[in-house]
């Protein structure tokens, strides 16, 4: 009997090696290599001769390829369709991750019950029993007479059952509990997750089935399993939300059939996850009493603007090294902006503790929040409240200049729609035609922005 071949795959970058070593030479991560057993393939005469191909392969030029729109299947949820790029595409593989209790199974059960009324759908559960899923569906008041259920963890048996049923959509909850008989390792290991996902992906591509995989999230917030899993799939989305918050955000990080970084907002209720069509309204629930250190900014998420409140607290430090804490923002960028504020704004906060928070648990990654962040810090430091009808956005450069940001006019229209009367924006983002109901103040330097709030 031939000895089974093994390889060692890095959990961080997906690179493989012929023998184990303590550090990955590609990404320099320590203790990240896991053993993977390679299945031996029988060599055919064509492979021994150095050629294995298909005589019927068709070669086309780019001009000859049909560019008709890809048909999509709507999920019945506008926010999920937005993140997916318009709906589900036949033959696509979607990976949805999130922390335990985020609502992954609840959201997918709602979607599958809706799709089962119009298409053949199969929900495969490996972690929960069929009774548990049925109890959840009954509690949520879902239509359960059309959705097909299967309790299975063996990938080969799952695909054999799917070949008989021929469903259009399959949900596998979750990929970490699936296993293949020929892989000699425990379910959830790197080898099992990698081979199971590859087997299911091939089945989805060959049959044109929409495959949705549920993945767990590790302590550092990344999807569990090897990085190569992200290269197999077509779309990767993450369901985020704190356990003490009723709101959940669905964000796409990879999408071959649409735009990335789209944001969908849901509210967890007794009837399951309900979509929030106007997310700016939930993030703008401010106190009636005006307080210092608070200002509203307009960020751009995917294809729409989002109004979010940012708060800052500047206080005397009782330690030799003042603290810089940023929640929802990049802490390194906060330190850089404080240096710009000192150099070009004439405000010294080197001996102060600075705490910054984005209300609602939103994570802001774009630079349009720079100007609003500094205005909130100045407001807290001077203890001067800013008007509640004021919004601000703009990128701040190291030389103190206020740089323009994309989609400035759409941001202003969104602010005017929610009743804001004054906006401090970069000079290059001033619209040519006046937007009714809002006064636009153009600034070119940080000093101009500070003068506008005096």
pLDDT category of residue 446 using cuts at 50, 70 and 90: very high
Say how many C-beta atoms besides its own lie within 10 A of residue 369's C-beta: 29
The arithmetic mean of pLDDT across residues 211-234, rounded, is 75
Instruction: Inform me whether the pLDDT recorded for 294 exceeds 50.
Output: yes
* Residues 354, 331: Cα–Cα separation, whole Å: 11
In three-state secondary structure terms, 296 is strand
DSSP-derived letter for residue 362 is P
* Residues 32, 197: Cα–Cα separation, whole Å: 20
The arithmetic mean of pLDDT across residues 149-171, rounded, is 95
Give the dihedral sign, CA 324/329/330/332. negative
273 neighbors 107 (Cβ within 8 angstroms): yes
Q: Is pLDDT larger for residue 38 or for residue 208?
A: 208
pLDDT in tens, 310-334: 999 999 998 889 999 999 999 999 9
* Residues 2, 434: Cα–Cα separation, whole Å: 77
Outline where DSSP puts E strands in 132-179: 148-151, 169-173
* Residues 434, 229: Cα–Cα separation, whole Å: 49
pLDDT category of residue 41 using cuts at 50, 70 and 90: very low
CA 193 to chain centre: 21
pLDDT number for residue 32: 82
CA angle, 372 as apex, 300 and 268 as ends, to 5°?
50
| Mean of pLDDT over the chain | 87
pLDDT number for residue 48: 40
Instruction: Inform me whether the pLDDT recorded for 220 exceeds 80.
Output: no
* Residues 106, 87: Cα–Cα separation, whole Å: 18
* Residues 211, 170: Cα–Cα separation, whole Å: 5
35 neighbors 8 (Cβ within 8 angstroms): yes
Q: How many residues does the chain have?
A: 454
pLDDT in tens, 61-98: 988 887 676 788 999 999 999 999 889 999 999 999 88
* Residues 44, 127: Cα–Cα separation, whole Å: 40
Reported as half-sphere exposure (CB side, CA atoms, 13 A), residue 154 has a value of 6
* Residues 20, 31: Cα–Cα separation, whole Å: 10
DSSP-derived letter for residue 258 is S
| ω into 232 cis (within 30 of 0) | no
Outline where DSSP puts E strands in 78-151: 88-89, 93-98, 121-125, 148-151
Pairing of strands 294-301, 272-275: unpaired
Instruction: Inform me whether the pLDDT recorded for 46 exceeds 80.
Output: no
Edge-first strand listing for the sheet containing 93-98: 148-151, 121-125, 169-173, 210-216, 93-98, 235-240, 247-255, 263-269, 272-275
The arithmetic mean of pLDDT across residues 136-163, rounded, is 94
Residue 208, class by beta-carbon neighbours within 10 Å (0-12 exposed, 13-18 middle, 19+ buried)? Answer: exposed
pLDDT number for residue 227: 63
For the chain, helix, strand, coil in percent to 5 are: 30, 30, 45
pLDDT number for residue 218: 64
pLDDT category of residue 187 using cuts at 50, 70 and 90: confident
Say how many C-beta atoms besides its own lie within 10 A of residue 334's C-beta: 20
Q: Which of 175-189, 292-306, 425-439 has the lowest mean pLDDT?
A: 175-189
Say how many C-beta atoms besides its own lie within 10 A of residue 389's C-beta: 15
Q: Which residues contact 241 (CB under 8 A, 6 or more apart)?
A: 98, 99, 102, 103, 247, 248, 249, 268, 361
pLDDT number for residue 282: 76
* Residues 237, 262: Cα–Cα separation, whole Å: 9
pLDDT number for residue 35: 76
């Amino acid at each position: 009997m031939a000895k089974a071949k093994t390889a060692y795959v890095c959990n961080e970058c997906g690179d493989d090696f012929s023998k184990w070593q303590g550090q990955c030479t590609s990404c320099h991560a320590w203790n990240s290599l896991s053993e993977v057993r390679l299945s031996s393939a029988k060599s055919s005469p064509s492979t021994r001769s150095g050629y294995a191909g298909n005589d019927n392969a068709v070669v086309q030029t780019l001009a000859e390829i049909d560019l008709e729109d890809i048909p999509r299947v709507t999920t019945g949820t506008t926010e999920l369709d937005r993140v997916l790029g318009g709906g589900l595409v036949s033959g696509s593989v979607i990976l949805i991750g999130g922390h335990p209790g985020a609502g992954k199974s609840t959201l997918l059960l709602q979607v599958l019950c809706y799709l089962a009324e119009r298409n053949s759908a199969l929900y495969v559960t490996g972690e929960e029993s069929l009774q548990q899923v049925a109890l959840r569906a009954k509690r949520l008041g879902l239509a359960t007479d059309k959705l097909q259920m299967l309790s299975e963890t063996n990938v080969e048996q799952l695909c054999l059952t799917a070949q008989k049923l021929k469903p259009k959509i399959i949900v596998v909850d979750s990929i970490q509990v699936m296993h293949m008989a020929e892989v000699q390792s425990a379910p959830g290991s790197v080898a099992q997750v990698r081979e199971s996902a590859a087997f299911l992906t091939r089945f989805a591509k060959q049959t044109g089935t929409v495959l949705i995989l549920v993945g767990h999230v590790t302590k550092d917030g990344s999807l569990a399993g090897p990085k190569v899993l992200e290269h197999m799939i077509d779309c990767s989305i993450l369901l985020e939300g704190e356990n003490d918050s009723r709101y959940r955000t669905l964000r796409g990080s990879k999408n071959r059939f649409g735009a990335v970084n789209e944001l969908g907002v849901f509210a967890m209720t007794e009837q399951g996850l309900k979509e929030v069509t106007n997310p700016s309204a939930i993030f703008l629930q401010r106190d009636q009493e005006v307080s210092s250190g608070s200002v509203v900014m307009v960020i751009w998420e995917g294809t729409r603007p989002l109004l979010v409140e940012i708060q800052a607290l500047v206080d005397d430090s009782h330690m030799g090294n003042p603290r810089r804490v940023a929640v929802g923002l990049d802490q390194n960028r906060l330190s850089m902006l404080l240096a710009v504020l000192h150099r070009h704004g004439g405000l010294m906060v080197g001996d102060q503790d600075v705490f910054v928070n984005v209300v609602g648990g939103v994570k802001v990654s774009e630079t349009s929040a720079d100007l609003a962040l500094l205005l909130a810090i100045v407001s807290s430091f001077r203890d001067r409240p800013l008007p509640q009808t004021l919004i601000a956005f703009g990128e701040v450069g190291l030389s103190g200049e206020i740089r323009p940001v994309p989609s400035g006019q759409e941001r202003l229209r969104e602010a005017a729609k929610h009743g804001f009367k004054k906006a401090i924006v970069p000079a290059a983002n001033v619209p040519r035609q006046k937007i009714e109901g809002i006064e636009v103040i153009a600034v070119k330097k940080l000093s101009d922005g500070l003068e506008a709030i005096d």
